[in-house]
Amino acid sequence: MILSDAGIRRALTEGHIAIDPGPESAQLQTSAVDMFLGHAFRVWDLPRLATPGLSPVLDLAEQRFADTSNSFLIPAELERDGSYILKPYHEVPQVLLCQTRERIDLKLHSRLAARVEGRSSLARLGLMVHLTAPTIHAGFNGNITLEVINHGPFHLKLVPNPTRICQFIFERLESAPEQDISTQFQGQKTPTGGRT
């Protein structure tokens, strides 16, 4: 079951969900909460990855590749005002890792999980905010890292704080989880990976 705006307000009031900073009423939609873009931006060091013999092979079966892959992330080059210009993917094949301004805490006992989704107004421009990783598991606490790609024809200016970059949709679990969340991204504060 997806929570409505009334259900989201109730979950916030009862402490089942914590969002910091707390959402303003304009952020609440009928069945989602809009989230703002945070200040941290990272990109892959493409010139370094293109160095012959340097680019590692990441064994996805091992599920321990975060340290290796993260060593190739660098801070994105920002504009003077702290914004980032995201070029179309056909010009620069780059995934931008950034985060929501808001930190979310889905209390394990609340039986709530969430999904991060794009906003249709931005999607129509070609902006994608996640790559097959929309799930925010019950018990997660941290900022949400977004994997952003510009598939459109325009250069897009991403401005921290006023840009509503994505939305969270909250879903009720059929029963309480039997185990605590186990993820290397719990409590994350820098965009170095996904959600779980």
What's the angle, vertex CA 195, arms to CA 137 and CA 134, rounded to 5?
Answer: 75
**147 belongs to the catalytic site:** yes
Helix or strand holding residue 167 (H, E): strand 164-172
In contact, 46 and 55? CB cutoff 8 Å: no
Q: Which residue among the candidates 14, 24, 77, 147 is catalytic per the annotation?
A: 147
- The C-alpha R_g of the chain, in whole angstroms, comes to 17
Q: What is the largest CA-CA distance in the chain?
A: 55
Calpha distance 65→58 (Å, rounded)? 6
The SS3 call for residue 55 is coil
In contact, 165 and 146? CB cutoff 8 Å: yes
Structure tokens at 6: 């009334």
Whole-angstrom CA distances from 75 to 38, 84, 93 are: 14, 11, 16
Nearest to 24 by CA among 9, 38, 39, 6: 9
**Residues tagged active-site:** 147
